[in-house]
Structure 1
Amino acid sequence: MNGPSEEGAAARKALAEHPSIDEGTEKRRQYVAANRDRIRELNRLWRSEHLDRARELNRDSMRRAAARRHREAQVRARGRERAKRWRVEHLERRREYQQRWVAENREKVREYYNRYYEAHRDGVNARAAARRDADPERTKQVTRQWAGRNKERRAELQRNRRSDPEIYQSELEANAAARRLKRSLSRAGLPPKRVHVATAAERRANEREADAYFNNPSRPEHLRQFTVFAESLTEHILKNGARMREFAEAYVEARARMGLPTVPVETIVYARAVEIVAERMRRVDLLTSRDVAAAVRSTKAEVVREERQEQFERLVKTVVTQVHRNRARYVVDTEMENQARAHRGKPRVPVESTVVQFAMQEVIERTSTNGLTVEDAQNAARVAMLRLAMSSEPGLGPVNDRIQRRPLG
């Protein structure tokens, strides 16, 4: 069987021996170029007269083309397979070749990279940021190593940045403000300002969390459920807290009698309150355990504020009532106190404030004030003085009127 080279040689030899063949080909090409419309019309007529034969020829042509494409695809697949096997079997040679090619074609590599970066800028930056965020310690180490190797380049970048007058002035103002704050805190005896410098990875993580939080389509309904739940829980505890506490204390005592482990009363009260409020609400499907815990903390803080306010009001009312009942005695005691202070050479004290002070001392001894601070007691005394000054009950009269009618000498 002759090879392709022998067949080509035979064809060239035939053309050389018979020049008329080449001349006939050229004449046919010229005829086709000059009669394209006529040839197209003849072909159409032949196809219409021999439709079955035309379709058969077309099918044969398509089969040959499909077979040719299949052979070419198989050849390419075998080539890829051979190349893959070679790369696996010759890793070192492949790596050396790649390194040598990159070293010999630096400009091409840079051009390829820049072209790809311009077309896929966002994707390249996102992948680079993800790699840095995945290993922050490695990123810090690489950054320090680069700074150590490129001190001059780093200094040049800083000089270029500060060459902008606005940036340079803003940095000067920020540094001056930081120094002033440090001196002010030092003079006041306060510790220096502590600033947590957030890394780029932390900032990106915070941005992702914020984006996930605020762009969540169910967030409005979630916030509505949480707000309604927290408000309902607070209202229920303020309204039924005492009764629920009594039940919880009885339940704890019953468990103790049966030898069961003790449970805090507060836990029982709030667990039952959460259960009742959740059953009454229309929707609680978006609430999580963290939401329930936050609502319980908010309710506890509100209960403490309400108890504190109640104790404050009760203290003020009791002081005012005590002054009204024992006004004469307190005034006499105040006069005796001022006379004693005069004998010792001390200034006199206002009668109205001393009266309230005496009443406050007697009231605090028998009134529950465990939720109040010293400042709260002082505020209660001032409020009591204002209410006494504005009092106009028959037969009592304001304390100030009594003081004005009685000489302070």
Structure 2
Amino acid sequence: MAVDRILPTAEAADLMELVRGLVDGELVARAAGDEEKGRFPREVFALLGRSGLLGLPYPGEYGGGDQPYEVYLQVVEELSRGWLAVGLGLSVHTLSCFPVADFGTPGQRAELLPSMIGGELLGAYCLSEAHAGSDAAALATRADAVDGGYRLNGAKSWITHGGAADFYTLFARTGAPDSGARGISCLHVPAGTGGVGADAPERKMGLRSSPTAVVRFEDAVVPAANRVGDEGRGFGIALAALDSGRLGIAACAVGVAQAALDLAVGHSRGRRQFGRPIGDFQGVSFLLADMATQVAAARELYLAAARRRDAGRPFGRRAAMAKLFATDAAMRVTTDAVQVLGGCGYTSDFPAERLMREAKVLQIVEGTNQIQRLVIGRHLARGDE
């Protein structure tokens, strides 16, 4: 069922109609088949680019859409309703463009952003390592200064679009091995750079059509001009990017949960037992009521955080809350959708089990939900807004 959205402008309403048509006309029909085969839909991202959807929250002067986060996130949600690999892919791409857009020099923005957000390129965000996931400040990948640039050595783990991206936003250590958060820098690395490669994609429980892989840097050299922000200040850039990225994951979770709710409601109307639709029975109707309430609450939470971001107000605590609540809600809602469908929900002939498997990863990526609780607690202890 179509979500009754309140959008800030007529342009945003038209944009959402375009996205809804793309989802219902293109994505829903092919999601299950491509997920089963583990096929990455690169051509879908090319279509998003031609439609102007790969740079929605970025400035129009660089080819972006000049849309507020409130609108951009609802696009992510709608795409995720049809196919999480696409909604999550847009969120990751937007995250990978953030450092250049917000911390790059005017020259870097003019040179790099038009191609990054113009529709032809797809990005990946390289922060996590095998032994530095939640403890990202412990990363070991090196960026050592050489004449005119940096030599990169190391490996990044769990990278969405690893091996498929056209550029990598890399966080690497430029300081001493024990320099912690203060010794990390951010670099823009084109995928075609010599010495950059990726392992075979991970074999995952869900989200199989979105490649996740280890990305390796072996004596790869990039110009000094590709460093984004001051040397040694990259960790702050990474954290700022993740605040916005968490809102993207929250929107993805609401999209998955909405798809599960729609499926469960439709089944409850069509499936009859004891002479009437199963949705007429209190045991099912109460379950659906709780599911709908969780979806609506999660949506309002991420939208409230987005509006704070758009207004230039602090939003980090609320971004963590939105990611935590929305992804936990998606796990509950998709699990309950399987229950409403009964035996049908447990088979791959229906999308309920796929949605349940996909929801799980959203509780893990861009900071596990245990880390979100830690972030929220720290904000509260400091008395942050």
Q: Same fold (TM over 0.5)?
A: no
**Which has more strand, going by share of residues?**
2
TM-score, normalised by the number of residues in structure 2: 0.23
Look at both structures and tell me which one has the larger radius of gyration over its CA atoms: 1
Higher share of residues assigned helix: 1
